[in-house]
Amino acid sequence: MSGDVFTSWAIREALAEEMRRDESVILLGEDIAEYGGAFKVTEGLLAEFGPDRVINTPISENGFVGVAVGAAMCGLRPVVEIMFMDFVTLAMDQLVNHAAKFHFIYGTPIPMVLRLPAGAGRGYGATHSQTLDSWFISVPGLKVVAPWSAADAKGLLKTAVRDDNPVVFIEHKLLYPKKGPVPDGDYTVPFGRASIVREGTDLTIVAYSKMVDEALVAADALAEAGACAEVIDLRSLHPLDDVMLAESVAKTGRAVLVEEGVRQGGVMAEVACRIMESAFDYLEAPIMRVGSGFAPVPCAESLERALLPSAANVLAAARAVLGR
């Protein structure tokens, strides 16, 4: 695979490559076999790998995530697709109390990946549109990643499959059709390293997943007004890249932090604290956070749009931090 490809294709290719490389990699989830998954990410994998490795499950998230934990304990490397991130609520006991803790309790690795299609923007309503990323970063034993680019989606997923710890892999639904260059060959992207997607000197904008798009639009608008914003894509939510965050803020002196989830108790609340601890002396203005309003995601397009953070919100926060 080379050139610009859809993010969904990049994820599928990562799964296929890892399944070819390691026969212990199996897939589980609702309608992932013949149907190819709700978002067609696993389409075609059944034909190549068969029903013993691409396994349809009942509509029972707590059941099949529990099966994945047991399979991981017994030497397999399950990759579980939860149809919508919202439904992970039904499997929190298996994920938080079993998968995340068994390594500490029993000394056994739990090499499993939980793929979570997340985010709003399609009018799916309150129970199919949530961004629950912040729930997982405070759980010892879980690693959490959320790619923005197609290349990172492939590279991070391959890293996740090879990891001996449980990984929460967050895929924004609106990024599946997004195209981008993906390198040929076997490559991985390490956890704990953010990416500078735009260099800048006047302001640091930190985002991840779909919000990187909004951050880049805001950065373009700032450039037209004579301000040079640096845009950082976190990629890895736990572990975080504390070094890059500190270095960027030390350079620019200002920071705006953007996420799709609600601001209260969000991922960026943790990022803001890390920046305060490591780069407080370099800050020339208070850190500002941008996120969704504190309400369930509505179905109506106009209400959903009003609730979600946008490039306009990022731009307004940046101007406030810059004093312009």
**Known catalytic residues?**
61, 128
DSSP code per residue over 2-15: -SEEEHHHHHHHHH
Pairwise CA distance, residues 102 & 22, whole Å: 23
Structure tokens at 1: 């695979």
Structure tokens at 43: 């389409």
State the burial class of residue 50 (Cβ atoms within 10 Å of its Cβ: 0-12, 13-18, 19+).
Answer: exposed
**151 sits in which H/E element:** helix 150-162
Structure tokens at 193: 């390293």
Total length of the chain: 324
Pairwise CA distance, residues 177 & 29, whole Å: 21
Return the C-alpha torsion angle 115, 117, 119, 125, nearest 10: -130
* Residue partners of 105: CB distance under 8 A and separation at least 6: none
